[in-house]
Structure 1
Amino acid sequence: MHDFFPATAAAARVVALVTDEHLDLPTPCEAWPVRDLLEHMAGFTAAFAAIARQQEVTGDPPASGLPEGWRELLAAAFDDLSNAWGKPEAWEGEDEAGGVAMPRAALGVVALDEVVLHGWDLATAIGVPFAVASSDVEVCMPFVEQFSGMSGGPFGAPLPGAQEASGVNRLLLLSGRDPAIGWEGGVG
C-alpha cells in the first residue's frame, strides 16, 4: 500500500493554477493541449478510484469539453482517488484496466504514475513548480523502467541520459520527458 496524498495534493495544486488562457497551451504529451490533459486526468481519476473500490467502471468517458467547475471537480477527484487507494483491500486481488487484467497492486502503481507524470506535464505546460515526493518516484520507477522504450507502450522513447540520471529526472527521462523544460528541484 502507498499513500497517494502527496502526489494527488500536488496535482490538485497545479490544477487550481490553470487559467482559461492556459487551456490551449501545448503540454509535454504532444497530442494533448492542457484542456485534453485535464480531461484525461478527470477520466483516469474516476476509473482508478472505481478500480480501487472494486466497482465496475460505468458511464461513458468524459465528453469533449470541461464541465463547469472543473477545477473543483478535479480537486475532489484527486482526493477521492487518494482515499480509495488508502484502503488495504484496494491493493489486494486482481482487476482490469484498459482490457488488461493485472494485480491490483500493479494497478495502484499505474494510477500513481498517471498522477505523477501528468501532474508534472501540466505544471510544465503552465510554468509552475510540481513537487514529487521521492517515495512516489521509488514506487513508479520499476513500472516506468519496465515499459520505457516499449513500442506501443505507455511512454515515449527514453531520452539521452536516462540511464545515468537518478530520482525524478531518471523517471522523466525514461518516460520520454525532458526535465530541462520543466521546473527542477521538485523532489520532496
Structure 2
Amino acid sequence: MIIDRIDRALDMTSAIVAGIDGGQYADASLCAGWTVRDELNHLVGGMRIFTARLTGTDPGGEHHDDWLGDEPANAFHLAAEADRAAWRRPDALEGVIELGFGAVPAPAAAAIHHTEVLVHGIDLALVTGQEKLVDDQECERLLGEMRAMDFSMFRNPGMFGPETAVADDAPGHRRLLAFLGRAV
C-alpha cells in the first residue's frame, strides 16, 4: 500500500536527516543550485503543504518559505510526524489533492509524495556521506515502476532531467537518481 511506502520513505529520510552535521547544510545538493539546507527546506515545505491539503488546514507558508528556522532536523521531524499522521487518515486516499500544477487524484498525489520523500532523502544521503542508510529495495521498486510508464511527460515540464549515465551494476538508488536526471 502506498501509505506504507510513504512511511518507509519517511523512516529512511528521518534517519538521514538526523545524521546531517550542522556544517553540511551549506554544502551543494544534487539538485542544481541548491544547498543541503535548500533541499531539506523544500522537503519540509512539501510535507507541510501535503499535511495541510489532507487535513483542510493552512500550511502556514508557501513551499519555499523558510520552514527550517534554527533547528532544521527538528523542523523535519515535526513535519514528518504531521505528514505521517495526515496520510494515515481514513480518507487520505479519497478525492483529489490540489498541487502546485493542478488537482490530482489522491492516490496519484500519494505516489508523487512518496517519490519526493524517497528521492530527496537519497540526495541528502549521498551528499552527506550516509549512503548506507538508503533503502535500495524501495529504490529498485520505484525505478521499476517509473521505467514501466511513459516517463517523458515528467521530463518535458522540467520536473526531471534526461536520464544520466550510471554503471549497470550501480546500486538501485544510484540507478534511480540517474534515471531521474541526477548526475551521480
- TM-score above 0.5, yes or no: yes
TM-score (norm 1): 0.79
Identical amino acids, percent of aligned pairs? 28
Contact 1:8 1:115 in 2 (8 A): yes
**Which structure 1 segments of 5+ residues have no match?**
182-188
Distance 1:64 1:174 in 2: 30
Give the CA deviation at 1:74. 0.7
Determine whether 1:19 maps to 2:21. yes
The CA deviation at 1:140 is 6.7
User: What TM-score does the superposition give when structure 2 sets the normalisation length?
Assistant: 0.81
Unpaired runs of 5+ residues, structure 2, are none
Structure 2 residue 165 is the aligned partner of structure 1 residue 160: yes
Matched-pair contact (CA < 8 Å) for 1:109–1:143: no
Provide Cα deviations, 1:65-92, integer angstroms capped at 9, x if missing partner: 8312221121121122122212341111
Contact 2:54 2:97 in 1 (8 A): no
Conservation of the 8 A alpha-carbon contact between 1:147 and 1:155 = no
Distance (Å, rounded) in 2 between the aligned partners of 1:66 and 1:102: 27
What is the match of residue 116 of structure 2? 114
- Contact conserved, 1:147 with 1:153, CA < 8 A, in 2? no
Separation (CA, whole Å) in 2 of partners of 1:150 and 1:164 = 24
Letter aligned with residue 36 of structure 1: D
In structure 2, what is the equivalent of residue 131 of structure 1?
134
Larger mean Cα displacement after TM superposition, 76-85 or 137-146: 137-146
The amino acid that maps onto 1:15 is: V
